[in-house]
Amino acid sequence: MTDQPEMPEERIEQQESRSASVVNLREYRQNLDPLPVTFHRTELDAILWIYGRMVGEGEWRDYALDHLKEKAVFSIFKRSGEMPLYRIEKNPKLSAKQGAFSVVNAHGMILKRGHDLRQVLKVFDKTLKLLD
């Protein structure tokens, strides 16, 4: 006599067949949803350096990060309830063509695109004007 209740033989066979199944690892990985695109730590440092400078000048006040399946987006806002003034996007599918990084304004126009994020972020550098 045992302390465990008896199970019908049919049910025991079902449990054994479920636990003994072999899964192909390659198929398992392909069936999973792809990981979202994210900004690397050094990329975020460059973006947040520009963001901090512009916040200090009083031009920007809020930001949002979106990590989607096809691209990562850093949105910049003047006020949190409005549409973003600028979007800094990372789209790896375009890295072999025009470049993975781009800066887009509120109207959807691409201001600058390239392979190097620091070069693309130079669009936010103010040009010095000669005053007479």
What percentage of the chain carries pLDDT values higher than 90?
A: 45
Q: Kindly tell me the burial class for residue 106, based on how many C-beta atoms sit within 10 Å of its own C-beta (0-12, 13-18, 19 or more).
A: middle
Q: Average pLDDT in the 25-54 region?
A: 84
How far apart CA 37 and CA 21 sit, in angstroms, is 33
pTM for the structure as a whole: 0.70
